[in-house]
Amino acid sequence: MNGTLVVFRREFAAYFSTPLAYVFLAFFLVLTGLYQWAFMGFYQADQASLQALFSGLPWLFLALIPALGMRLWSEERRSGTMELLLTLPISVPQAVLGKFLAAWAFVGVALLLLTSEWATVAYLGDPDHGVILAGFVGAFLMAGSYLAFAALISALTKNQVLAFVVTLVMLLVNLTIGFPGVADWLGGVLPAFLHQTIKDTSFLVRFDAISRGVLDLRDILFFLSSVALCLFANAAVVDLRKGA
């Protein structure tokens, strides 16, 4: 655990050592602000709620997380610092977990900044705070699943651009299969069991229930297990390629 903490501190501090982190955060806040207050017609809806924001987060995360995750291991391999990192008295799983937790914490900072939207909505009306809290919990879990997958793809290639594109496309496909219109179409061409299985793997479907205030243990376990599975595969890939 000490090794994980060492890597976490190193990686998390590195995010804020350059202006890039602040550009990411500013871009994310502007994007979510425009989506909540302009594109989704908050004032026209006349409802004190962040449901519009939460409905867009699975798609808005596509602008942040693939770019954040592409450098996790691709940059280490390209620059040759992976070998240096793994010569420290830490195990591969500790290194993988530490880098992932640092990136997840960075996204947590972005979500924490979004609580300003919560405060604004609370000032303008009387929202259901339990639903909003559940939405933030779900968003954090979903972001962890995005990041774990992005880290796995990053470990598979030295090319950051390729890691970004593959992550973006795969996450987009995952979200699309849970989109109502696409899900209905799949239901018409696939056997019921296969259709339900595919639909249940969509982050969009899992997050939608949580964002409406339904904290189902099955949805929480889905996100946590997807994180665990991707990190396990990530560690296996790094261990296999650390000398490559």
Amino acid at 188: G
- The pLDDT value recorded for residue 226 is 94
Q: Report whether pLDDT(159) > 90.
A: no
Give the mean model confidence (pLDDT) for residues 179-206: 77
Q: Which two tokens stand for residue 43?
A: 């004032």
d(CA 71, CA 79): 11
CA distance linking residue 131 with residue 124, whole number of Å: 17
End-to-end CA distance of the chain: 26
pLDDT of residue 83: 61
Closest by alpha carbon to 137, among 38, 47, 217, 199? 217
- Three-class secondary structure of residue 84 per DSSP: helix
User: What is the Cβ-side half-sphere exposure of residue 51, based on CA atoms within 13 angstroms?
Assistant: 13
Residue 235 DSSP symbol: H
pLDDT attached to residue 106? 93
Confidence of residue 177 (pLDDT cuts 50, 70, 90): confident
Assigned token pair, 63: 């602008």
| DSSP secondary structure code for residue 63 in this structure | G
Q: What pTM was estimated for this model as a whole?
A: 0.88
Q: Where are the domains of the chain?
A: 2-241
Report percent pLDDT > 70 for the chain.
84
Asked whether the predicted pLDDT for residue 169 surpasses 90, the reply is yes
